[in-house]
Amino acid sequence: MRPLLAVACLLLAALAPAHANDAAERKRIARERAQAEAHFRAQRNECQQRFAVTACVDAARAEHRQITQRLRREEGVLDEAQRRQRAAARLAAIEEKQRAERERADAPRAPRAAGEAAPRQPKPAHPRAAHEPASAPSPAERAAEEARKRERYEAHQREAREHREQAEARRVQRDRKGKPPAAPLPDPAASR
């Protein structure tokens, strides 16, 4: 892993001067794009003075398109180089972090003094395991957990019953207003 980290660092060091060139290159592209726009506008204005306006404007537009496509390709090359540079930097940072974690895990642990706090429990790999205690729960804990689950179940049942009652009340009120019930859907078997 160390050779890969060294290569990534060398790559980053080599790309640092390229960043200065990158900014200068982007300024050049922007300048050329502005010049191309100005040239196109001037050509289009000149075409308006001629008899065959459409052919002249089409030729000016084709020339402008070629210039802007070339500038877009150059910008794409710069963008790709910048993406690769960011990816290399991110890879180097990830490898450095992993290396530091390995070193920390491999380092011998110093014995704790009697007054220091107990070590933290590591986070479980599976999120459901966080809710499961390390040892078997006592009967009182089990009874409390069952009571909580029963309470949640009964609350859910009450909410469902209230919802059904409200829906029924809406239906009764709709019937009182004289609105006919919705027509049933057609039977798919009957259409075959």
pLDDT band at residue 163, thresholds of 50, 70 and 90?
very high
Note the pLDDT tens digit of each residue in 112-138.
555 555 556 666 565 555 555 557 778
The answer on 16 and 92 residing in a single domain is yes
Find the angle CA(156)-CA(162)-CA(166) to the nearest 5 degrees. Answer: 145
The answer on 72 and 22 residing in a single domain is yes
Distance of alpha carbon 153 from its chain centroid, rounded?
37
In this structure, is residue 20 part of a structural domain? yes
In this structure, is residue 185 part of a structural domain? no
pLDDT for residue 36: 93
Note the pLDDT tens digit of each residue in 1-50.
455 445 555 555 555 556 678 889 999 999 999 999 999 999 989 888 88
pLDDT for residue 152: 93
Pull the structure tokens for residue 163. 């919802």
The answer on 71 and 161 residing in a single domain is no
Pull the structure tokens for residue 90. 């991110």
Q: What is the pTM of this model?
A: 0.42
CB of 21 closer than 8 Å to CB of 82: no
The answer on 92 and 6 residing in a single domain is yes
pLDDT for residue 51: 79
Q: When comparing pLDDT for 180 and 71, which is higher?
A: 71
Note the pLDDT tens digit of each residue in 44-92.
898 888 878 888 889 999 999 999 999 999 999 999 999 999 999 999 9
The answer on 94 and 27 residing in a single domain is yes
The answer on 146 and 54 residing in a single domain is no
pLDDT for residue 167: 93
The answer on 21 and 80 residing in a single domain is yes
Q: How many CB atoms lie within 10 A of CB 78?
A: 16
In this structure, is residue 42 part of a structural domain? yes
In this structure, is residue 53 part of a structural domain? yes
Domain span including residue 53: 2-104
The answer on 147 and 60 residing in a single domain is no
| Closest to 44 in 3D by CA, of 58, 27, 28, 26 | 58
pLDDT for residue 31: 94
Distance of alpha carbon 146 from its chain centroid, rounded?
40
pLDDT for residue 138: 84
Q: Which of 56, 77, 104 is the last residue of a domain?
A: 104
In this structure, is residue 96 part of a structural domain? yes
In this structure, is residue 192 part of a structural domain? no
pLDDT for residue 71: 92
In this structure, is residue 98 part of a structural domain? yes
Find the angle CA(152)-CA(154)-CA(159) to the nearest 5 degrees. Answer: 95
pLDDT for residue 175: 82
Average pLDDT over residues 156-178: 91
The answer on 16 and 65 residing in a single domain is yes
The answer on 146 and 98 residing in a single domain is no
pLDDT for residue 67: 93
pLDDT for residue 1: 45
- The total of structural domains in the chain comes to 2
| Closest to 22 in 3D by CA, of 90, 84, 91 | 84
The answer on 78 and 8 residing in a single domain is yes
Helix (H, G, I), strand (E, B) or coil at 177: coil
CB of 72 closer than 8 Å to CB of 111: no
The answer on 80 and 9 residing in a single domain is yes
In this structure, is residue 127 part of a structural domain? no
Q: Is the pLDDT of residue 101 over 60?
A: yes
Average pLDDT over residues 97-109: 86
Q: How far is CA 51 from CA 16, 55, 152, 171, in A?
A: 54, 10, 84, 75
pLDDT for residue 176: 85
